[in-house]
Chain A
């Protein structure tokens, strides 16, 4: 046991704790269903896949959010970026639906990146303003009603259907994950993102193009939110007002529960995936228990604080 712990790097600890918590949640949930219904619903593969399908949308948003958080910034505009992408994709329809949706995300990310990277407005407030602008655009576009346009067949196939019993949304999430891991681990851009998150001055003085890196990171986040919007519209067959709003805070929470430092510079992508799974499963166990919203909110908050306190316990002090 001690040998195992020695072999672990500091940022593995959150992943292990979060992983153990997932097992705990599954066990507790199963114990509950066994006691009340005499079945182990939670452990059935079909049920788990269904939960993960819902989790895929959060997972894709979180992937983009993580890239921005690694920089030491935050993207609060994902809610309406997601919604705008879904609305524009369904409005355009046809073969261009998905490219338009992702393009909306990229454009929102571009604006955020320019504001944060070049004008140096704090990301917290600039992305908040961007969120308001996107919301305004969508209200003006739709007249404030649910859009009548429907998702294309391809969107529906990606968001709602299954291949060989596995939801297609999971494949998309997996593809996004592979891309993000490649970017973070294998590319110059990824290295620069971690460097800027750790010490922007040192990265700049090492000759890294810090402004362009910030721009790129926000565009990744925007594109992820856009893609999630397209998929979510496919899943629900249409776009609707405020569909992205319930994703912002859980995405931030997933990244942080996954062990990434909210101030930037450290965190592994695997952690974010574990964080998403934890949040999704916690959610489904609570709904099986028919926990009222009040209890859920309290449990969410308590889980985030408890996890962070647990990670602290093992953190080495430095500098």
Chain B
């Protein structure tokens, strides 16, 4: 077949990047050219975000060469990448919340007069750029902090356009946008393509890629699998490339049995318009998945059950008894017995400089205490057991927890909660950024905890996990449960269709 990338703008050769023991990219050769919209496909953890971080100067590769217009480059900072015409719109916003929209859009090269920033010119420039993406409704004087998330994302796009990119990278840039804004972004991308800008587009919405892309590249496990022109590969072939393995093999078998009696019952749960009348049961010994697009209320549901949110309406029962936890301390109390493995293990799960043992014992100190004192012996024994049981790889329990690999850190977070002997275990995307081996251990562990009688509610952004791990899956859309899937009905097609809240039973629009 003809090479889809002729006369590339940017090329990578043999690029490798490791984080601790986990390799994020392995010997990647990649190229993209101007005047093309180039989609990057891959599962979570396939190396897409590391790829764009390298291109945009956020991280430096361990090995390999990057060239822009045939000249070798190594960007020390995002500013240098911008200077070479490479501009990235990041998923995590790079906006300054206390500054105005105009300040943000012109932040790196503001228009100046007599050496001072020319506020009027800056505002006019911001208005122009916002108008170009159809956002006349955003006032350039507004503080970014006061804008809703979708508007902030549009400001981020305007800011990137203001740098006159030759290569524009969009990382899930449309996931926070309203549908009207998505249309506007499509128009802008089309216009940029005509202006001979190279565009890299990362999205999990396959129909978007179908509609936009000229070229697509598939990544898997840190490797570049293949680049092909639009229409050169069937959807089935693309999915096979992305998955690249038998899905079933890495998950433990699900038990065949009638639905168990509910351990956790949720009735009519609502919060601040972000959770709307949610009712859900999780049986003792059952793993129930939470699915749907990112940001549809899954995290809020877990936080509400764990007592973190104030002003939650509705009823929560654990083991038949009504509970209303007002803090995590309430939620973990023995007569409630709820545990939460939080979203971000580095900021919410662990005290990184503290030791493995201290982190493991953090949630169950009450169990080892006699009066105000900690029974060190009992603590040591319990910590040792947890390390053995979850096969956490540590030199010594007295090592700081930040010395462990990501996967082992996550095991510490999970083990911390298992030590409280919870009846209900809530997990917020527990396998994000973790190597495949540890993932499998976590899946087996979840099943074992369920078999021992725990009720498990499990949010994942990875559809495979929901399919492979869960007895049932509840799909959330805009803060409400729109569908519950059970047994054989849990398929990628069903999940994707429900996530978009459409009824299409047709194969997922890949």
Residues of A within 8 A of B (CB): 182, 186-189, 191-192, 194-195, 198-199, 201-209, 265-266, 318-319
Contact = CB atoms under 8 A, between A and B. Distances in A.
Given A194-B358, A206-B363, 6 more contacts: A199-B347, A202-B351, A202-B362, A207-B327, A208-B365, A265-B353
Nearest to A190: B374
B349 A194 contact: no
A198 B353 CA distance: 7
Contact of B349 (A189, A202, A207): A202
Interface stretch (B69-77, B117-125, B131-139, B328-336): B328-336
A266 B358 CA distance: 13
Contacts of A199: 347, 350-352
Contacts of A266: 353
A191 B349 contact: no
Given A187-B374, A189-B372, A208-B362, A202 B348 contact: yes
Contacts of A318: 352-353, 400, 402
B416 interface: yes
B348 A319 contact: no
A10 B250 CA distance: 41
Given A191-B358, A205-B328, A319-B402, A265 B348 contact: no
Contacts of B420: 207
B194 interface: no
A98 B226 CA distance: 79
B149 interface: no
Contacts of B351: 194-195, 198-199, 202-203, 265
Contact of A209 (B329, B331, B361): B329
Contact of A201 (B331, B347, B353, B372): B347
A265 B353 CA distance: 8
Contacts of B328: 204-207
Contacts, number: 82
Nearest to B339: A207
B365 A188 contact: yes
Contacts of A208: 329, 362, 365
A202 B332 contact: no
Interface in B420-443: 420
A205 B340 contact: yes
22 contacts: A186-B374, A187-B373, A188-B366, A188-B373, A188-B374, A191-B361, A191-B362, A192-B365, A195-B358, A198-B354, A199-B351, A199-B352, A202-B362, A205-B306, A206-B328, A206-B363, A207-B327, A207-B331, A207-B363, A208-B329, A318-B353, A319-B352
A192 B362 CA distance: 8
A146 to B, nearest CB: 40
A187 B354 CA distance: 16
A202 B358 contact: no
Nearest to A201: B348
Given A188-B374, A199-B351, A201-B347, A207 B329 contact: yes
A205 B402 contact: no
B349 A205 contact: yes
B374 to A, nearest CB: 6
A195 B362 CA distance: 8
A318 B400 CA distance: 10
Contacts of A265: 351, 353-354
Given A194-B358, A207-B332, A188 B369 contact: yes
B352 A206 contact: no
Contacts of B400: 318
B402 A202 contact: no
A189 B369 CA distance: 11
* Shortest beta-carbon contacts, A-B, top 4: A198-B351, A207-B332, A206-B362, A207-B328
Contacts of A182: 373
A204 B325 CA distance: 14
A293 B327 CA distance: 52
B342 interface: yes
Contacts of B347: 199, 201-202
Nearest to A211: B327
A129 B372 CA distance: 32
Contacts of A202: 347-351, 362
A186 B373 contact: yes
B232 to A, nearest CB: 43
B346 interface: yes
A194 B373 CA distance: 15
A194 B353 CA distance: 10
A195 B351 CA distance: 6
A263 B226 CA distance: 48
Interface in B395-454: 400, 402, 416, 420
Pick the most buried of A187, A191, A266: most chain B CB atoms within 10 A of its CB.
A191
Given A191-B362, A194-B358, A205 B374 contact: no
A182 B373 CA distance: 9
Contacts of B353: 198, 265-266, 318
A191 B352 CA distance: 14
A198 B347 CA distance: 10
Contacts of B346: 319
B402 A203 contact: no
A319 B351 CA distance: 11
- Name which of A186, A201, A205 has the most chain B CB atoms within 10 A of its CB: A205
A188 B328 CA distance: 16
B426 to A, nearest CB: 11
